[in-house]
Amino acid sequence: MSRIPLCTAVWLSVLGGPLGNTASAALDLVPWPKTVEVKGGALELTANSRVVAGDAALLPLANVLAGEILQTTGRQLAAVQGEAAAGDIVLKLDPQLKGEAYALLIDKSAVVSGANYAATAFGTVTLLQALANEGGKLSLPLLVVADTPDDKLLYRLNLPTAEEKPYTGPLTFTTTTTVFARMVDAAGQQLGEVLTAGFGDDGFRRNLLTDPGVEVIVSNTGAGDKKFITDGYADPNSHWNGIAQPAWVKVKLPKAAKINKLEVCCWWGDGRAYRYNVEVSMTGKDGEWQQVVDMKQNAKPAEGAYVHEFAPVDAQFIRINMFGNTTNGHNHLCELRAFNAEK
């Protein structure tokens, strides 16, 4: 069973807010909160800094926030529940706040208070956008923020036509589930694109391909942008397409890992099936590849992600060779995910 907080990156991706500004950059918050008071000075996040959940209900959010900081800066902060210390990032529920209201106070520590889980998550988005990364030194500007966002996060499960519900906190899944999420403003107008994410019964195993230092090489420029292959989101409208043969994508991990699961997300929507195989290698050299997935004769329509599990194998390189689809010769790759066998 998986208990899944929709990642704060959903807000960031829809709203286009930056992560990891340099210290010299002006404060750039999207959307701009109702009130912002910048005091001058900064709080440095050190090797002892943690993400502390003041309430057990916020521990999943603390883990998400720590993961976002790791992904965008390469710095791992521990996510814990308990008493906070100076230099920590603290998540709290505040019964004095109402609705989606949150407050952010950065002084000797960085405290995000929210009326509820979703409100606190909104506050973490503002904190992430304020985070400065200069030469590996992480800091937050000293400031006071108070906001009541007008925007809302809505989601559907498994089908884009399913009942749409407002997101208020972690979702619990007992089977593999696809989540469709979008932001809307106070008038109900959609902001940005609908984002899609798949979750399985393996819980919070990290997608290795969103780690800092991952390199992506493609066989040809094709169409679309190769950045979509490892951005962490499966969206049929955001993909790389290797039009000409041979069409392949090679991914290099920062270091070798023991892999036993891959997810391949191709374009979906009209019942077409994609054909490919996947190989792994420790060296990336010709003649030193091992096939772990064979879908060259596939007839199963692409509907979100093709999921492949196999015996654990040590690898630093992953290569997917694509052979078109049952409609045409195009090779649309929206997302590639790889999971470590060691949770």
Q: What is the CATH number of the domain that holds 329?
A: 2.60.120.260
Same domain membership, residue 212 and residue 331: yes
Q: Give ∠ CA 68-261-170 in degrees, rounded to 5.
A: 40
Q: Residue 171: which domain range?
A: 152-199
* Weakly modelled stretches of the chain, pLDDT under 50: 1-25, 201
Within this chain, do residues 45 and 159 fall inside the same structural domain, yes or no? Answer: no
Q: Is the entire prediction scored with pTM above 0.85?
A: no
The count of structural domains within the chain is: 3
Contact 194, 160 (CB under 8 A): yes
Report pLDDT digits (tens) over 104-148. 999 999 999 999 988 898 899 899 999 999 988 999 999 999 998
Structure tokens at 81: 């529940």
What pLDDT sits at residue 294?
97
135 and 6 share one domain = yes
Domain shared by 195 and 214, yes or no? no
Tell me, what's the pLDDT at 2? 38
Give the pLDDT confidence score for residue 205 in this predicted structure.
Answer: 66
75 and 168 co-located in one domain? no
Do 157 and 128 belong to one domain?
A: no
Same domain, 127 and 16: yes
Let me know whether 224 and 174 are in one domain. no
Q: Note the pLDDT of residue 17.
A: 42
CATH number at residue 104: 3.30.379.10
Q: Check whether residue 134 and residue 65 sit in a common domain.
A: yes
